[in-house]
């Protein structure tokens, strides 16, 4: 992964911006994704249960329809946050890591552009 980090850091601004736009479009799509519940359908099926049983309060209510935004609280990183070196976190599990059930003493977590490229299996050599 060290080589991949160096490759990611060596990308120019426009290549990083391309990955950010993919990230941003995906996150906005998730943030504004919603589910529609027809409240009148529940009254006909089971009179003992209210229409919002198991759903909670809707985000919007309009003409007998309830709208639930599924990821409305999803934070979306700015471009600077997305490409920041702070997206690499090294965690030391201590000397008694085996007794505490950890698989290794030191692990590295990746976020932002590093995780995006890793999760989408983007081959940086072809850029």
Tally the domains of the chain.
Answer: 2
Is 100 in the same domain as 39?
A: no
Range of the domain at 49: 34-69
- Residues 28 and 46 placed together within one structural domain of the fold: no
Same domain, 18 and 38: no
Task: Please give the DSSP secondary-structure letter assigned to residue 86.
Answer: G
Q: Full-prediction pTM beyond 0.85? A: no
Domain co-membership, 11 together with 45: no
Local confidence pLDDT in tens for the 127 residues of the chain: 778 889 899 999 999 999 999 999 999 999 999 888 887 776 666 666 676 667 788 888 888 888 988 898 999 999 999 999 999 998 898 888 888 888 889 888 999 999 998 888 877 767 6
* Secondary structure class of 94 (helix, strand, coil): coil
- What is the DSSP secondary-structure string of 1-44? -HHHHHHHHTS-HHHHHHHHHHHHHHHHHHHT-EEEEEHHHHHH
Give the Cα separation of 25 and 40 in Å (integer). 34
């Amino acid at each position: 992964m060290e080589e991949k980090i160096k490759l990611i850091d060596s990308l120019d601004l426009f290549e990083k911006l391309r990955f950010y736009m993919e990230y941003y479009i995906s996150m906005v799509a998730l943030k504004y994704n919603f589910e529609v519940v027809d409240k009148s359908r529940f009254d006909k099926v089971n009179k003992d249960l209210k229409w919002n049983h198991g759903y909670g309060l809707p985000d919007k209510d309009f003409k007998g329809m309830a709208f639930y935004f599924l990821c409305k609280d999803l934070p979306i990183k700015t471009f600077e946050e997305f490409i920041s070196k702070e997206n690499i976190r090294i965690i030391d599990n201590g000397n008694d890591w085996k007794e505490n059930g950890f698989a290794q003493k030191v692990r590295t977590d990746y976020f932002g552009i590093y995780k995006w490229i890793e999760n989408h299996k983007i081959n940086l050599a072809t850029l």
